[in-house]
Structure 1
Amino acid sequence: MTHPAGGVAPVSTRVMNLATFLTQAARRDPEGIGLVMGGARWSWAEFEARTDALAAALQDRFGLRKGDRVMCQSQNCMEMMQAMFAVWRAGGVWVPANFRQMPEEVTYLTQASGARFLICNAGFPGHAAACRAGCPELEVVLAIGAADFGASVQDVTAEFMGRRPQVAAVERDDPCWFFFTSGTTGRPKASVLTHGQMAFVVTNHLADLMPGLTGDDASLVVAPLSHGAGVHQLTQVARGVKTVLMPSEKFDVATVWELVREWRVSTMFTVPTILKLLAEDPSTADADTGSLRYVIYAGAPMYRVDQQKALAVFGKVLVQYFGLGECTGNITVLPARLHQAEDGPEARIGTCGHARTGIEIQVQDEEGREVAPGQTGEICVIGPAVFAGYYDNPGANAKAFRDGWFRTGDLGHMDEAGFLYITGRQSDMFISGGSNVYPREIEEKILTHPAISEVAVLGMPDPLWGEIGWAVCVPVAGATVGEADLAEWLDGKVSRYKMPKRFLIWEALPKSAYGKITKKMIREELEARGLIA
């Protein structure tokens, strides 16, 4: 069979079911430790058997059909990882929510995804009740732990132990994961990730972020498995790397270092706010970090001053990547060898790295034309890691793609060598007196003040200039700094039109469920404080 143009049509688009990664790990090292949480240990063989049992129950007792969406509301736990692989094995689509979201938010996600199944941790009865009441398509609710709103995953697993499911046959473009965007500029959208796409992402993560992983490595999870950390752990399973979960949902730096020491942890996935906490916590001074090989951070750009602190503490083990959920992290990588603590021409200060393997990046103007090196435009990408589109949202898809390129909504520029520099989100840029102002540049300057720990610069309406900047600043613990001090200190470091007209001093900045500082939440807080209408 050939296409009209003469190309050969694929004989098959069948691909491996992602759950097979677990089966392969269990075959290679059945008695090796695969999953750890507190005092609990699962060998790879036990992990595989539990996954088989739950997948069989989903098919045979609860009637899961290929393509059914399965919402999950749970903090990190062993059963959450078991459920992810069981859903894939049975042919379902994994739809995880961040456990910190409110019942009405998870209800919306359940509605938007058309989920027929809900797996809900016993600690969230209000979420289960809200989803039952607000989602008529929801038919099956299972509980992780003992709860009165559904059968227990643990009990169902025990009942079906030893049973094998019918492993779902999947095509390259069959959905496997609805990866909800964080909703920083609107309601979350479901990015459709597929089995074929995710197989590429796993391979790419292992090649670009963590080359050379083996079963001797160990990975510590310090972020919610619902998003980037879940993708990271999938890559660990693919290489038989044991996964160590924090013993509770509370993030405690001293506990992190105890687990790193005990399990000789070699990889961690973090976001810049967590990496900043790890670098600055007093317990870090005495920590045994010698086993760390790859400390990966993503999810938001990291300010230079924070990057330098982390490099001073951990050495050349930091790996940065840039990539939205729609590209599953696969846009750029700045490997450990290219992280430089000292400023200078070799440091490429501010870059988020070069293109990931198999990914092409263009910085484009408003018409979709590639701009010259050094010029600012929208970062656009193509490649096998780009998602299949937003679920049931043709309007969003039309805006997100242009001539086959995915439009990230991030602004930046590229240098002659292909290194990318993020200026900020399109929605963050403001125009003051006819000139474009990119908040990130100003934030970087403010953060070099020794008394400032965090900052966010926003554009606010102004009758004379159109928009002006406000800087919301958080001092270092114990430090005192005033608006006049910051204005005087910043004078001469940025152009006059970029100078914030107000400096607000807060005790903390609001953050999203993923630890990101979002301008949307800061605006909401400004409104709540009566500072803007």
Structure 2
Amino acid sequence: MTHKNRLVIEPMSKRVMNLSGFLVQSARRFPDEIALVWGENSWTWSQMQRRVSAMAAALQREFGVVMGDRILVQSQNCNQMLESMFVCFRLGAVWVPTNFRQTPDEVAYLAQASGAKGMICGHLFPDHVAASREASPELKFVIATGKAEFGEDYDAIIDRFDGETVPLAAVEHDDPCWFFFTSGTTGRPKAAVLTHGQMGFVVTNHLCDLMPGTTHRDASLVVAPLSHGAGIHQLTQVARGAKTILLPTEKFDAAEAWRLIEKWRVSNMFTVPTILKMLTEHPAVHARDHSSLRYVIYAGAPMYRTDQIHALKTLGSVIVQYFGLGEVTGNITVLPPAEHHVEDDADARPGTCGYTRTGMQISIQDDAGNEVPSGITGEICVIGPAVFAGYYNNPEANAKAFRNGWFRTGDLGHMDAAGFLFITGRASDMYISGGSNVYPLEIEEKILTHPDIREAAVIGIPDPVWGEVGLAVCVPRPGSAPDADDIIAWLSGKMARYKLPKRLVFWPDMPKSAYGKIAKKLIREELIRRNELDGPL
């Protein structure tokens, strides 16, 4: 909607800071302080900046990378992975990190969809390189991290260009810097376009809302892939000169995480609920000193109340929740430590994911785009400087994602009178039983209060009488052997009858995405593989 009386002033300049300037600034201020630790190796800020400058010079002068070119990065967490972000930003190129656990064909699709000119790839992934080259003739070069036949070694290139540099590319607010691929749980992944101007706001917002007071004296442990939320979190650490500690191995190791927290006096970390659960349930949490922790941030999925209480009792008042999709770079709500409560008293709001982030605005809307009153469930929509520029080369997805200027998250929820948001679930997760909407998250929360259940996920399955009914997949706690009928009987009276799952199945482990989320798509696939989807009700 436009207003005829709107005053329009054309800005004299749309230039913004090049995000690689964060590294430049920290290297100037703290040249000899540790910037990055990985295993037995560490790099100071000046060393990291020198390596980034050398690789940027190489990409520009030897490989012909220019502003706007996309560079695909297939890598586990390592120093080169983090460096590649700043290399791309410095050149005005676009960083296109993959989920390294994806298959060769899946990564080949990302190469083709992004129009990548080059690829930086870990030496363990030759099949990904071969598939990407076959799928994308625009892919002109591949650089290997580690010795590999498919490309020249990344560190050897740095040695050749050591001491060389190129100036920071002049960028404007809407110049792309990062293609943030969605997880693709409902179809092909889409490239959300993040820009230099947007991400400058995001960094400021993270420092304001998630970890206020962060300085160069802080240290941050990375326990998730740098390709997504953890990468945004570490960009924020670089902006303040805080050191980054990488886990030495690809596989998550809770005992090693607590050892590093103690050794490096880690003050903040980005996690997802499943990782936080594993950390706080591991015995090493009681054997290691973690008093340095100030902000243990979790996002990516709702955290069940029972797990939240356990984390609070174990770690104290240090956990921070935020809600936000990749398209909004996590910037929708925040629930700071002071709003996390162990007791469900008058001050607590069990189930909330917090209030609106600074500079953002939330609207709960019905199917027609009208804002609904407090307490009424609708789609969570958002506007503000953290919202992405749109999906790359995908006008159909853009048309569905935006309505009247609002970004439609696809998540359902409601707000209370004080502005705290409560997520009901994904619109795609909701099912209709006997004409009534059923939101699995509510049922899962109830199931997890049973002492014998460690994890739970509920999906809707077809039913000839009710249209759809609930099927609950449960992971028992070690040493327990719960009975499905007993669990359903135990749930009876704790929720309306139409919400009761009609069938329970027990698995030793729950399928999870590469980011540690319980993925309903993977659960359905596993139910089909096990021939349990169509069992008797």
TM range (shorter): over 0.9
Indicate whether 1:126 and 2:158 are aligned: no
State the Cα distance separating 1:4 from its structure 2 match. Answer: 9.4
Separation in 1 of the partners of 2:251 and 2:458?
29
Change in Cα spacing, 1:6 to 1:416, as seen in structure 2 (3 Å) is closer
Q: Which residue of 1 aligns with 2:422?
A: 421
Separation in 1 of the partners of 2:360 and 2:369?
18
Indicate whether 1:269 and 2:249 are aligned: no
Separation in 2 of the partners of 1:426 and 1:517?
16
Deviation digits for residues 297-320 of structure 1 (CA, Å, limit 9, x no counterpart):
000000000000000100000000
Deviation digits for residues 65-123 of structure 1 (CA, Å, limit 9, x no counterpart):
11000000000000111111011111210000011111111111111111111100111
Q: Which residue of 2 aligns with 1:445?
A: 446
Q: Taking structure 2 as the reference length, what is the TM-score of the superposition?
A: 0.98
State the Cα distance separating 1:479 from its structure 2 match. Answer: 1.1
Any idea what SS the aligned residue of 2:297 has? strand
Indicate whether 1:315 and 2:319 are aligned: no
Deviation digits for residues 224-271 of structure 1 (CA, Å, limit 9, x no counterpart):
000000000000000000001111112111111111111000000000
Separation in 1 of the partners of 2:9 and 2:426?
41
Deviation digits for residues 137-161 of structure 1 (CA, Å, limit 9, x no counterpart):
1111000111110111100011101
Any idea what SS the aligned residue of 2:28 has? helix
Separation in 2 of the partners of 1:413 and 1:6?
34
Separation in 1 of the partners of 2:362 and 2:6?
28
Separation in 1 of the partners of 2:6 and 2:129?
53
Separation in 1 of the partners of 2:5 and 2:261?
57
State the Cα distance separating 1:459 from its structure 2 match. Answer: 0.6
State the Cα distance separating 1:7 from its structure 2 match. Answer: 2.7
Q: Which residue of 1 aligns with 2:187?
A: 186
Q: Which residue of 1 aligns with 2:172?
A: 171
Separation in 1 of the partners of 2:524 and 2:6?
53
Q: Which residue of 1 aligns with 2:150?
A: 149
What is the 5 A alignment of 1:373-452?
373-452=374-453
What is the 5 A alignment of 1:283-294?
283-294=284-295
What is the 5 A alignment of 1:358-369?
358-369=359-370
Separation in 1 of the partners of 2:191 and 2:230?
17
Q: Taking structure 1 as the reference length, what is the TM-score of the superposition?
A: 0.99
Deviation digits for residues 173-197 of structure 1 (CA, Å, limit 9, x no counterpart):
0000000011111111000000000
* Structure 1, unaligned runs of 5 or more: none
Change in Cα spacing, 1:146 to 1:4, as seen in structure 2 (3 Å) is farther
Any idea what SS the aligned residue of 1:345 has? coil
Separation in 1 of the partners of 2:186 and 2:298?
22
State the Cα distance separating 1:6 from its structure 2 match. Answer: 4.2
Separation in 2 of the partners of 1:246 and 1:107?
27
Amino acid at match of 2:522: M
What is the 5 A alignment of 1:189-208?
189-208=190-209
Q: Which residue of 1 aligns with 2:252?
A: 251
State the Cα distance separating 1:345 from its structure 2 match. Answer: 2.1
Q: Which residue of 1 aligns with 2:241?
A: 240
Q: Greater CA deviation, 442-451 or 165-174? A: 165-174
Q: Which residue of 2 aligns with 1:231?
A: 232
Amino acid at match of 1:103: P
Deviation digits for residues 434-482 of structure 1 (CA, Å, limit 9, x no counterpart):
0000000000000000100000001111110010001110001121101
Q: Which residue of 1 aligns with 2:39?
A: 38
Q: Which residue of 2 aligns with 1:138?
A: 139
Separation in 1 of the partners of 2:259 and 2:299?
24
The structure 1 segments of at least 4 consecutive aligned residues displaced by more than 6 Å after TM superposition are none
Deviation digits for residues 470-499 of structure 1 (CA, Å, limit 9, x no counterpart):
111000112110111111111110100000
Separation in 2 of the partners of 1:5 and 1:416?
31
Q: Which residue of 1 aligns with 2:519?
A: 518
Q: Which residue of 2 aligns with 1:100?
A: 101
Q: Which residue of 2 aligns with 1:474?
A: 475
Q: Is the contact made by 1:56 and 1:166 (CA closer than 8 Å) also made in structure 2? A: no
Identity %: 64
Separation in 1 of the partners of 2:5 and 2:62?
47
Q: Which residue of 1 aligns with 2:301?
A: 300
What is the 5 A alignment of 1:456-471?
456-471=457-472
Any idea what SS the aligned residue of 1:320 has? strand
Amino acid at match of 2:312: L
Q: Is the contact made by 1:460 and 1:470 (CA closer than 8 Å) also made in structure 2? A: yes
Amino acid at match of 2:227: S
Any idea what SS the aligned residue of 2:462 has? strand
Separation in 1 of the partners of 2:5 and 2:161?
50
Aligned-CA RMSD value = 1.0
Indicate whether 1:527 and 2:528 are aligned: yes
